[in-house]
Amino acid sequence: MSIAQEVNDGIEPANYTEAVSCVESSQWLVAMNEEIESLHKIGTWALAELPKGKQPLRRKWIYKKKDGFPGVENLRCKARLVVKGFNQKEGIDFNEIFSLVVRHTSICVLLAFVALFDLELEQLDVKTTFLHGELEEEIYMEQPEEFIAPRKEHLVCRLKKSLYGLKQAPRQWYKRFDSFMIGQGYCRSKYDDCIYFQNFQNGSFIYLLLCVDDMLIASGDKSLIQKLKTQLNNEFDMKELGAAKKILGMEICRDRQAGKLFLSQKNYIERVLDRFNMNNCKPVSTPLAAHSKLSSELCLDTKEEMEHMSNVPYASAVGSLMYAMVCTRPDLAYAASMVNRYMHNPDKSHLSAIKWIFRYLKGTSDIGLVFDRKMATTNDVVGYVDSDYSGDLDRRRSLSGYIFTLCNSAISWKATLQSIVALSTTEAEYISATEGVKKAIWLRGLVNELGLTQGVLTVFCDSQSFIHLTKNNRYHDKTKHIDVKRHFI
């Protein structure tokens, strides 16, 4: 079994010509007409003469078949008119482009709250998301093909609102949405700018979590959710999806009677295995083989080998594994960290490690996170930290790892190489714990802010020398190098 190059299955047109000449041309034409109507409805542009010295940006149609939401719609054809933003010039067509993105940890925290307090959890989708942002720069674009205004062919589109492809489009959308939520009396979280919440005098509360164009709304009071939906529908073009079932490729399944909420990526993992021709592989029981010792010494050093490996989508495979690990699979953290180090020049042995991980996923595709109200013995954030001393064979750096739970459910995890070389196991444990405690402080702040009061912050570690050092941090010759930088705890 081998990882083959990803192949486009050909069901999506690459350009306008293919879209209007394929078997499904009628569906793509409907999708394009809907897109143009949406753009005109919100006044995305106005036709104008092109000023001297200005160059209009080119445009392109993007076609995609998207999965529908369970119980709402099936596979659908989607057409987007996008601007070729790579032609934009900084200082002329854009200035700031940074936009905030929700943390996956925040999603897990919200789901833990939903399970713990048995909240209603509903989902909304914003149609033509980026088109709601107001542009601050003067930008011109060519008229879209086949939708050119009669007798106005010489004019161009002066963009009034952001459009897909513009570098500043995500930022402008977030600024518009943020100003709307603040205007409705909601508070923005100090720990994650994509979380909004409101508390009421009768003890009720409501949370909104923004994932670009998807929103999760949680509250114990259905009337509060309905009121927020009405406010959003009056301001934006929304699509109500009912009870949340899928977010960012993660499936949400609830058993309210049992007090459980499940979060998994089974469909995503199965698609990844199919994409890399590993759907018929033999499963294994561990994420990484015990005999697997990876290092840069195994990397390729001849042009022939490099050319051969250049046809293997190693980086794409690692990226697919990383996404699964970040979202729902803490058991992949160490293995993903290992294979991620050699993307610049992978060898066949590194490829074998990737295959092993895929074989592990084959037998564990339905494993995910469980948020269980009945298993919650404490409402506090609890952490576990550890390190692998000098585990990196290349530069002898150690590995830091941590995992944090809320109500006995995993909400945050990480495994990464330390930035410096530790001179002892005690120092390696100390560095690892420092990173863990920094994360714990952030988590405690977020959970406190959302209304779940935290008690003593507990972080577990299995190194007695490290524990003694944290309690008695008076340095001597063997530990003063730690004192310089690491007495954060």
Query: Residue 6: is its pLDDT beyond 50?
Result: no
At residue 349, the pLDDT reads: 82
pLDDT of 8: 39
Give the side-chain half-sphere CA count within 13 A for 151: 0
444 DSSP assignment? H
User: Which residue, among 345, 115, 391, has the nearest Cα to 253 in the 3D structure?
Assistant: 115
Average pLDDT of the segment spanning 71-95: 79
Q: How confident is the model at residue 362 (pLDDT cuts 50, 70, 90)?
A: very high
Q: How far apart are alpha carbons 111 and 242 in whole angstroms?
A: 16
How confident is the model over 438-455, as pLDDT tens digits? Answer: 999 999 999 999 989 888
Contacts 24+ apart (CB under 8 A), 188-194: 189/446, 189/449, 189/450, 190/445, 190/449, 191/442, 191/445, 191/446, 191/449, 192/102, 192/103, 192/106, 192/446, 193/100, 194/100, 194/101, 194/102, 194/103, 194/106
Write down the residue that tokens 């490829």 correspond to.
351
At 383 the pLDDT is 94
The pLDDT of 88-117, averaged and rounded, is 90
Question: What are the distances in angstroms from CA 404 to CA 121, 261, 371, 418, 441?
Answer: 23, 18, 13, 19, 11
Q: Please state, as a whole number, how many other Cβ atoms lie within 10 Å of the Cβ of residue 145.
A: 14
Cα-to-chain-centroid distance, residue 163: 22
Tokens at residue 358, please? 């895929």
C-alpha 407: how far from chain center = 23
Q: What is the secondary structure of 211-277 as a DSSP string?
A: ETTEEEEEES-HHHHHHHHHHHHHHS-EEEEEE--EETTEEEEEETTTTEEEEE-HHHHHHHHHHTT
* Integer Cα distance of 117 and 255 in angstroms: 13
Region 77-99: mean pLDDT is: 86
- Token pair listed for 283: 């499963």
Judge whether residue 485 has pLDDT over 70: no
Sign of CA dihedral 289, 292, 294, 300: negative
Residue type for position 32: M
Given a cut of 90, whether residue 120 has pLDDT beyond it is yes
Per-domain residue ranges of the chain:
16-248, 266-363, 376-486
- Rounded Cα distance between 249 and 179, Å, is 28
- pLDDT value at residue 10: 47
- Average the pLDDT over each of 301-310, 377-386, 460-469 and give the range with the smallest value: 301-310
Contact 112, 125 (CB under 8 A): no
The pLDDT confidence band at residue 4, using thresholds 50, 70 and 90, is: very low
Report yes or no: 401 and 334 within 8 Å, Cβ to Cβ.
yes
Q: Which long-range contacts (CB under 8 A, 24 or more apart) does 392-395 make?
A: 392/341, 392/417, 393/293, 393/294, 393/295, 393/297, 394/295, 394/296, 394/297, 394/341, 395/421
CATH class in words for 376-486: alpha beta
Q: Which residues contact 301 (CB under 8 A, 6 or more apart)?
A: none
CA dist., res. 469 & res. 483, Å (int): 10
Mean pLDDT of 185-205: 92
Q: Which residues contact 246 (CB under 8 A, 6 or more apart)?
A: 69, 70, 123, 252
Give the SS3 label for residue 189: coil
pLDDT digits (tens, 9 = 90+) for 305-342: 667 667 788 889 999 999 999 999 999 999 999 888 88
Q: Mean pLDDT, to the nearest integer, of 8-13? A: 61
Q: What is the pTM of this model?
A: 0.84
DSSP assigned state of 312 = S
For residues 475 and 482, what is the distance between their CA atoms, to the nearest angstrom? 8
Whole-number percent of the chain with pLDDT over 70: 91
At residue 31, φ and ψ (nearest 5 deg) are -65, -40
User: From CA 28, how far away is CA 138, in angstroms rounded?
Assistant: 31
Residue with tokens 């002892």: 424
Q: What is the pLDDT of residue 488?
A: 57
Compute the average pLDDT of residues 177-202: 93
What is the structure's pLDDT at 479?
Answer: 65
| Residue 2: band (very low, low, confident or very high) from pLDDT cuts 50, 70, 90 | low
- pLDDT for res 9: 44
Name the DSSP letter for residue 79.
E
Provide mean pLDDT across the span 362-391. Answer: 89
- Cα(44)–Cα(143) distance, rounded to whole angstroms? 12
Does residue 426 come out as left (phi exceeding 0), alpha (psi in the -120 to 50 range) or beta? alpha
**Confidence bin at 5 (pLDDT 50/70/90):** very low
**Which stretch of 67-76, 109-118, 305-314 has the lowest confidence by average pLDDT?**
67-76
d(CA 472, CA 485): 16
